[in-house]
Structure 1
Amino acid sequence: MVPEQLPIFKDLNPYSGQIDTNNRWIKLAKLVPWEEMDVIYQKHFDTKKLSVIKNCRLIMGLILGQMFLELSDREIVDYFHENPYFQYFCGKDTFVAKLDSKIVHPSLLSKRRRRLGASYTQQFEQEMVIALKKKGLIKGKKLTLDATVFPANITHPNDVKLLNAVREYLCKTILDVKNSIDPNRNIRTYKRVARKVYLTFQKTKRKTKTFIRKQRKKMIQYVNRNINQLDTLLAEAKTQIIQEGSPIKQWRYDQIVNKLNVAKRILDQQLHMATTKGRKVANRIVSFHWPEIRPMVRGKEGKCVEFGPKAHVALVDGYALLDHAQFDSFHEGIRLDESLNKHIDRFDTLPTIVLADQLYSNRDNRALLKEKEISHSFKHVGRPSNETRAAQRKRKTQFKKRQGQRNHIEALFGHLKKRFNLNRLTWTVPGGATMQIQLGLIAANLYRAAGSA
């Protein structure tokens, strides 16, 4: 059991233990299931190293603080040393001053995200639901469903800009590998000429279709040349690695090969669009440094296309839970059955009502809800029923009321993106986008629970 920490910082002036117990960090600390999460956290490490690793409460406290305050890794570590209340939230019972070194190096947070993975945040969400149920804050009677795209932190892509990003990486890597193998060798990458082509494109205000095609063709030629040059160098480096005489480490070689494969896929896609004069290609890559991202055609005013993972979110009694997230587009209307099964796993019962927009109102979903005796917010279909005018007015009024209740999830999406560090996803580790979305939802749930407690 974790001992009670209040009063805190007894020897800290001017507080001397008299600290506001209504502070948000103290309230939030009481809601997080630290003990349960620590048990799960320790399973990700060797038992012999548990005495030296940073504990769960410190690491998860810092990461949750990022979601509340919308800070980077470096900024949240600096904030830790500035705020005694936040130090209490992270499990410290005495004030930790920033003297010669910080409590943790900022890079450790990224390493822990990589080690823990998305499965840990899913377990975190499950433990949070259990804690909220024990406090009577969530009951699971009303389920609201919708999907949204959380934008990733990438520049708005175009073909020439994407090819230039690939070219710059290839030129830099060619120089590094060449200097490792033979510093005296000369390789013509045409990087200065290609850079001028790119700058000319960027500075041109009015770009005609012919001009865009010409500049893209030039960039394709430069990228193709650089890929062939790097392929040749890597073949030589592999021979030296086999003979155990290469200055390039195996992990570095594998890293370059992975990036080179992405560059080749981008080149193939751009070459296909250039030769067919088309604008569509399957599984189109829009970011060289985050190749999982796909364009999501949304059709919204001002946001015709969005770039980031699409998330299917369930809103239960005002608390947001993540049902599914992926970079490839999907139709949320066919995921109702999956959401109902997850609702049963969380609450051991079905909801009494499902609120969703008309994308969910297909025949299969209507039949499913009818079979399970769950009411819904879908529009009445079929022939006009033989009901009185009073009954018709009542049904229409009920439909408008339920659609108004469904709109709460739309407001929630805007609140999450503006307030809980989900406006620009930045975690590029494997599964990092899902982790950031799930922790953002957890932070929003904690904030709501602290206000209700």
Structure 2
Amino acid sequence: MRQTGRPSLNPRMLIGAVIIKHILNLDDREIVAQITENMYLQYFLGYSFYTKEAPFDPSLFVDIRKRLSEELIAEMNEKIHGFSMERSSPNPDKDKKDNGPRGGEVSHKGEVIFDATVCPQDIAYPTDIGLLNKARKIPEEIIDELHYKNRVGKKPRTYRKNARKKYLKVAQNRNPSRKTIRKGIKAQLQFLRRNFNTLEKA
């Protein structure tokens, strides 16, 4: 028998969308747009992969608000906060051991602020010359592996030291000019083309 009507949604998605709405303080359409564009919000809602499709129609928030009151949302937030504080609280047995036989209270109490927008600073921005530098290393590793398995004749030259030197000349420049960038990209493309030609001859 064919089913009609709107398909059911995961309760985690609905409750998570309401929590996001109350935290960001946005309207219904903007919340759906933010969820569609933000992979972190989709992960919070239980998605296993990123998708560009909207999770549901913004009009669904009207039905959600009828069933979930503001008091219930506040209660859910309190429970989530309490659960996170319990997991982050130190082990009392370990504290007694560290503080000696007397035990005692921990003197370094404070307030922890969680920020989901923080990201590591050591993530390199994907520039064209950086991607070319990574692509250049792949055929170099293949050439090394092929020569290691079949040691016949001399190892083909890859000029990797010269290529890395030219890459660092651009990458370590805080404000390179367009001419410098074009010159560096052209050099990396030449090294990459030479490595592929070497692999074709092998």
Fold in common (TM above 0.5): no
TM-score, structure 2 length as denominator? 0.42
Q: Normalising to structure 1: TM-score of the pair?
A: 0.20
Q: Which has the higher strand share?
A: 1
